[in-house]
Amino acid sequence: MKLTLGFSPCPNDTFIFDALVNKKIDAEGLEFDIVLEDVEALNQGALQSRLDITKLSFPAFFQSLDKYVLLNAGSALGKGVGPLLISKKNIEYSNKDIEHSSIAIPGVNTTANFLLSFAFPNANKKEPRIFSAIEDAVLNGQTELGVIIHENRFTYQQKGLYKVMDLGEHWEQEMKLPIPLGGIAVKRSIDKQVSLKIDRMIKKSIEYSFANYPLISDYVKLHSQAMDEEVMRQHIDLYVNNYSLSLGNEGRNAIEKLYMVFHSMKKTALVKEELFIESF
């Protein structure tokens, strides 16, 4: 059985899927056509029901519940892992300053954009860009502020940029829960037993990578865009953790809370679909 599988080329995703896609573990008869894309491209694909299995941001997942259900393994949740709002100026910004500033975001459907709206509901001068271009957009004065994710958390200071706010920290303080950034979802049309097998395979793939860590595999290096190995490890350490192996009650509670807040902010009705594969 061959299925399409999409995830990003970032070290956390390639670390998670390395053993599975490169046949370092038994895939139990499953084969995959791999699609590597930026997370916002994957979000757009999920809204169009393009892939059988996909990494996606939670706001995109919440808008795709009629098509996808969330797997237990492979998610990115945690504490201290959220996006950062950055500036070229080392000054203190008021809420009004931020609401009237142009802000580069890594995609409309990203959790980063949701967390920006959660902290600053009236910030409407948003400019979507690929995540890797946001630092330069702020540096070059194309936008006044930027919301950075992924490895840019570890590089912005080296480029002379300054943190205005940790948007994830704001969520944690308000909700007392970890931040759900993204997960792995599978089409509801796929047989549940096959979906549960995929879930097991992803967990085994993560366990394989952890067993060989801190070694960085060639697969992770290949897609890391010439990233320094230490930055790759920081990236993996931040985004791949126990929640990636299994959401657990705390992880599911955090996702359910994000789901409720997302719909409250959007003023849309909750969809009567099970979020998680175990309940589907």
Question: Any idea which residues carry the catalytic annotation?
Answer: 150
In angstroms, the CA 236 to CA 133 distance is: 21
214: cis peptide before it, omega within 30°?
Answer: yes
User: Environment class of residue 70 by beta-carbon count within 10 Å: exposed (0-12), middle (13-18) or buried (19+)?
Assistant: buried
User: Taking Cα atoms as reference points, which of 173, 181, 3, 206 lies closest to residue 77?
Assistant: 181
Per the listing, tokens 């492979």 go with 74
Q: Residue 21 has which token pair?
A: 């896609």
Q: Please, how many CA atoms are within 13 Å of residue 200, restricted to the half-sphere of its CB?
A: 11
Contacts of 144 (CB under 8 A, 6+ apart): 87, 88, 101, 102, 103, 138
